[in-house]
Amino acid sequence: MVQPKLLSAHDRESLSAAATHFSGGRHAQAAALAAALCLRHPEAGLAHKLHGCALLEMGRAAEAVIALREAVRLLPQDAQAMSNLGNALAADNQLDAAIEAHERAIAMQPGVPTPVYNLGCVLLQAHRPGDALRHFLSAYALLPQDRELARLCRELLVERGDLAQAERFCRDNLSALPDDAGAAALLGGILLQTGEGQPTEAEVWLREAVRLAPGDAVSWSNLGLAQRARHEIGESIAAGRRAVALAPEWGQGWSNLGVALRDAGQLEEARTALLKALECDCECADAYYNLGCTAQDLGEHALAREALIEAVKRSERPAWILQAAHACRQVLDWDGADLLENAFAGQLESGEALRTGEPPSPFAWLATPGSDPATQLQIARHFSRRFPQVGQAQQRERAAGPLRVALLSSDFRDHATAHLLAGVVECIDPARFTLIAYDHGPDVEDAYRQRLQRSIREWVSVRTLSDEDASCRMRDDGIDIAIDLKGWTQGYRGGILAYRPAPVQMQWLGFPGTMGAPWIDYIIADSMTIPPGAEADYSERVLSVPGCYQPNDLKRAIGPRASRADLGLPEGAFVMAAFHQPYKITRAVFEQWMRLLGAIPDAVLWLLEASPEAREAMTAAASLAGVDPGRLVWAPRMSSGHHLGRLAAADLALDAFPVNAHTTASDALWAGVPQVARCGTTFASRVSASIVNAAGLAELVAHDDAAYEALILALAHDRTALAALRTRLQTTREHCALFDTAAFARHLLSGWEMAWARCRQRLAAGHIDVRD
């Protein structure tokens, strides 16, 4: 081999000029000078090396391989020449030979990152991403300050789906390069996606990402999602708006903004944002899902069904499948619901439904035919894991005085919860208890809200507060007992109590089942909704009150009674009222009603006004069952008082299953109409039995479909017996346990005090049975 020092001064100048041209990106000039040197000095290894490198940069890979093979023959210990040959072979698509060349280069010069990196590139080209990543990580360990190498490692880790390793890498990356915006953004996104750590940490890293790279739309959008996870809704919307301003054609950004707007109750604007997301990207699965959920909130159930099915077509996530099934039930698409529910049941059985990712809705599951108490607990527990797990509240000193009880809800207005609650809060003894309403609902003024405010003197709006801030407010307010009145129903804020603001925490009224939440100590129930022996299917301890867990208001006004003619009902008909929300009307329930119409010739079925799709489905099902659709009579929606007034025109109120009539049953009985109850095994399927029992009409409870149908037929065929029942109900109504508001309040307060006594004695929550 000819050494440079053995070249003539002129040739040494030519070699130096060729190297300068190469460094300056003038590869053709470098190649020409190096080629001339090779002709004059065939044994000049450096000239062949430089010639090959220049040819490779010019895209002449095959020629570069020839030149570099000669270079490594002449320079057998030159690891760089060997690695350059590997690059040329890779460019010439000789991948096995390229891999061998890089491996030889690494063996020649261990601890040098460049050939390790080059080998990673060839392995990536050979479709061996796992091996490529391993070498890139080895190279990065030697060059932790290399931003481009760090970016490549991050991208491959994400592409492989190894988020745990990607998280660890990002943390190492940020230790070496604290100002690496890409690493901060990815770490924040991973923490957001996996739920590892607290949402706060994801927000911290994403804030750092947008500080370092304020023009990065993805980081702004993810920051909005992190803020949403902590219920910082105003900040979430602002971040989402910034993202779509930076990337107005990015569908996912519009989808993320839309879901924050939905959380804020800005449903029309949310729908607009989500439609914009789909305009930008018609394959954006998240946008379809979020649009479906928003449409459900708006009561646009046909759109909800369509959008959720489109979401499931693109991603068969368990939570999405269950939500799509529920949307099908809202429009009585029983075939669609059955198909989706069967798919979800398979995912539940395999365990897929309970793995990480967006958890399925506990409410949608408890409304699903075939769900049972054990799986309801599984689903609820999985759902609750999305919130911080803080542990038991610390005991604290409290001043003497009434116990301070927080009621947490969005329904302190003309809503079923307020209808039930209004009477009992007026019976609370202020010497024993001080009630504080923590309101996260819409800012409305109506008669029910005003009535509640007369009894609940302390009123705190937490609508715009994060879960943690709302919890801190409760703690600062010295709350002793906190009661969640929503559970996992629409508009829930269960995350507030997850921070354990009160020593004793309960759930009541809103959610007919277990919340599966370790921060909820008690569920307020009764011996019918949770019978002795069923406690194991509830994460909470049971605070059981006599009669029915559901309070009622003796002051509820009943509007003027309307004539059947005014209501569109036949004058001499046997009127069976079934004022249920569509999702409660399963195929089996409707077929049962059709059999009853077939067996009772003068009967009509009085239904609550439904969407055109639901009405069409029921009309078609009636015809298929051989029943004249004219025997289905639709009642328009109206105010509570007027509804109670018209209910008296019914002869009998029918139940639904597996989600019973709840407040619907109380309404019927208060209006003087006998209610038949179909009792099952879940909380939601035992509520009507509890209500009817507490009204003193235990004989109207049936425990299977055959007994239920037989009971209705017996009453329809013995109108005298039915009239006697009606008279008995009207006579005892104001004195029975169901409507004895003062007695219910006494039992409830006793239960609260018993739970508090256990807490003061530093005893764990335990089952409490309040005696009459």
Residues 279, 335: one domain? yes
Residues 510, 477: one domain? yes
Residues 610, 463: one domain? no
User: Is residue 549 one of the residues assigned to a domain?
Assistant: no
Q: How far apart are the first and last CA of the chain?
A: 107
User: Is residue 135 one of the residues assigned to a domain?
Assistant: yes
Share of the chain above pLDDT 70, in %: 98
| Total number of domains constituting the chain | 4
Residue 30 maps to which CATH number?
A: 1.25.40.10
User: Is residue 65 one of the residues assigned to a domain?
Assistant: yes
Distance of alpha carbon 375 from the chain centroid: 18
Residues 67, 185: one domain? yes
194: left (phi over 0), alpha (psi -120 to 50) or beta: alpha
pLDDT value of position 393: 65
pLDDT value of position 208: 97
Residues 151, 277: one domain? no
557, two tokens: 């006004």
User: Is residue 389 one of the residues assigned to a domain?
Assistant: no
Residues 577, 530: one domain? no
Model pLDDT for residues 3-58, shown as the tens digit of each residue: 555 778 888 898 899 899 999 999 999 999 999 999 999 998 899 999 999 999 99
Residues 283, 432: one domain? no
Residues 277, 325: one domain? yes
Contacts of 82 (CB under 8 A, 6+ apart): 72, 101, 102, 104, 105, 108, 115
From the number of C-beta atoms within 10 Å of its C-beta (0-12, 13-18, 19+), residue 178 rates as exposed
Backbone φ, ψ for residue 622 (5° rounding):
-65, -45
User: Is residue 767 one of the residues assigned to a domain?
Assistant: no
User: Is residue 293 one of the residues assigned to a domain?
Assistant: yes
195: left (phi over 0), alpha (psi -120 to 50) or beta: left
Model pLDDT for residues 306-362, shown as the tens digit of each residue: 999 999 999 999 999 999 999 999 999 999 999 999 999 999 999 999 986 789 999
User: Is residue 553 one of the residues assigned to a domain?
Assistant: no
Structural domain of 187: 4-223
Residue 469 maps to which CATH number?
A: 3.40.50.11380
| Dihedral Cα 41, 43, 49, 55, nearest 10 deg | 50
Stretch 508-512: mean pLDDT, rounded? 97
| Dihedral Cα 541, 545, 549, 552, nearest 10 deg | -150
Residues 366, 429: one domain? no
Residue 600 maps to which CATH number?
A: 3.40.50.2000
Last residue of some domain: 512, 544, 576? 544
Helices 61-74 and 45-57, axial angle in degrees (round to 10): 160
Residues 374, 419: one domain? no
Residues 153, 250: one domain? no
User: Is residue 398 one of the residues assigned to a domain?
Assistant: no
Helix or strand run (H / E) with residue 498 = helix 495-498
Are residues 89 and 64 in contact, defined by beta-carbon separation less than 8 angstroms? no
Residues 377, 416: one domain? no
Exposed e or buried b for every residue in 526-542, given b needs 16+ CB within 10 A?
bbbbbeeebeebbbbbb
- State yes or no: pLDDT of 291 exceeds 70: yes
- State yes or no: pLDDT of 551 exceeds 60: yes
Residue 620: which pLDDT band, with cuts at 50, 70 and 90?
very high
